[in-house]
A and B are shown apart, each in its own frame.
Chain A
Amino acid sequence: MSGLLGLKDIIIIVLPLMVLIEVAKDSGIMARITGRFHPVADLLDVSKEAVLPLVVGLTIGFSYGSGIIISSAKDGSLSLKDRYAVAVFLSICHSVFEDTLILAAIGASLFWLLSSRFVLAIVTTLLTTRMLGRGRPAMLETDISPS
């Protein structure tokens, strides 16, 4: 029974949320919000090319961000360090709108959901890229499999 009650709360959030996302996309508001996230790339010390997959993954979703890395990594515009930085960051923090609001709908704190994920993603990414700079990155190089 509790499952069904929870589902009702989720519908109340999800339905308007999805409409809002589409309106934000088509009205150009999404592009403006996305633009606001560019300082995140500066903070992470990644190249210009890594900004787009980072921002797309952070806001829209992991597979969309990864899709951009896959296509741009094939033509060689993303370094190993950039790819690791984006992968580490996005694996911890992605789809911030959808994931956060769905979990908030069942009673989790919005503040802790957003802040802890974001801060931990930044710290872990910086630690990883520092380590890559010092260690033997060749060990972590893998073939990019054809999709």
Chain B
Amino acid sequence: MVTKATWTRGFRNGLQTTWELAKVIIPLTVLIAIFKEVGWLDLLAIRMEPLMALLGLPGEAALAIVVGYCINIYSAIAVILAIDLTAKQITIIAVMIAICHGIFVESAITRKTGVKAWPLALMRIGVSLLAGLGLNWLY
């Protein structure tokens, strides 16, 4: 039954999620701004350019993908917001990150279900890259 408690619980969850997002997005935005200023982002972008070109993405997008794979979707969002991207490019990164994120934390959960975690993690990365390639071609 929907009571007053339902609404307050929802509101509280909403604020909590926003707070979790803010905790990640604000410091990462500052960090990326520093990386940009120092020139590290350009350095990474140049290195990753050929690989990212296959996915239809600029070199800087590599940072969003790696951060998403290793940490979580929220951190990847912080990077996406910090770089200039088209709607198509945002969609490609978003799909790749949605398929594969938080590898370390989620592999630990997977292991508890009695399934080998590393082949699953590799498979996820593979499917994510394939999705990126496919979407660049299809979209």
Closest to B6 in A: A26
Partner of A3 from the list B10, B15, B25, B127 (CB cut-off 8 Å) is: B25
* CB–CB B113/A23 < 8 A: no
Check if B95 sits within 8 Å of A147, measured CB to CB: no
A106 adjacent to B10 (CB under 8 Å): no
The answer to whether A107 and B112 have CB atoms under 8 Å apart is: no
Nearest-Cβ distance from residue B118 to partner chain A, whole angstroms: 11
Q: A83-B114, A99-B98 are in contact. Are A21 and B77 (CB under 8 A)?
A: no
Are B9 and A22 neighbours in the complex by a CB distance under 8 Å? yes
Given the interface contacts A14-B14, A27-B2, A62-B109, does A108 sit within 8 Å of B95 by beta carbon? yes
List the B side residues contacting A84 at CB < 8 Å.
Answer: 115
Chain B's closest residue to A20 (CB) is B10
What is the size category of the interface that chain B forms with chain A?
A: 35 or more
Task: Flag whether B131 is at the interface (Cβ < 8 A).
Answer: yes
State the Cβ distance, A4 to closest chain B Cβ, in Å.
7
Given contacts A107-B87, A108-B94, A144-B113, contact A120 B127 (CB under 8 A): yes
Main secondary structure of the interface of B (DSSP, over half): helix
Q: Closest Cβ of chain A: how far from B112's Cβ, in Å? A: 5
Q: Which of B92-139 contact A (CB under 8 A)?
A: 93-95, 97-100, 106, 109-116, 119-120, 123-124, 127, 130-131, 134-135, 139
Contact A26 B2 (CB under 8 A): yes
**Quick check: B113 and A66 within 8 Å, CB to CB?**
yes
Inside 8 A of B131's CB, which chain A residues have their CB? 116-117, 120
In the assembled complex, how far is the CB of residue B74 from the closest CB belonging to chain A, in whole angstroms?
Answer: 8
Instruction: Indicate whether A113 sits within 8 Å of B29 (C-beta atoms), given known contacts A17-B14, A22-B10.
Output: no
What residues of B have a CB within 8 angstroms of the CB of A112 in the complex? 91, 95, 135, 139
- The interface-forming segment of B39-47, B50-58, B78-86 is B78-86
A44 on the B face (CB < 8 A):
no
Name B's A-contacting residues (CB within 8 A). 1-3, 6-7, 9-11, 13-15, 17-18, 21-22, 25-26, 28-30, 73-74, 77-78, 80-82, 87, 90-91, 93-95, 97-100, 106, 109-116, 119-120, 123-124, 127, 130-131, 134-135, 139
16 CB-based A-B contacts, threshold 8 Å: A1-B29, A14-B14, A16-B14, A18-B14, A27-B1, A83-B114, A91-B106, A91-B124, A102-B73, A102-B74, A103-B73, A108-B93, A116-B95, A116-B134, A116-B135, A142-B116
Q: What would 6 more interface pairs be, CB under 8 Å, given A15-B18, A66-B113?
A: A23-B2, A87-B120, A108-B87, A116-B99, A142-B116, A147-B112
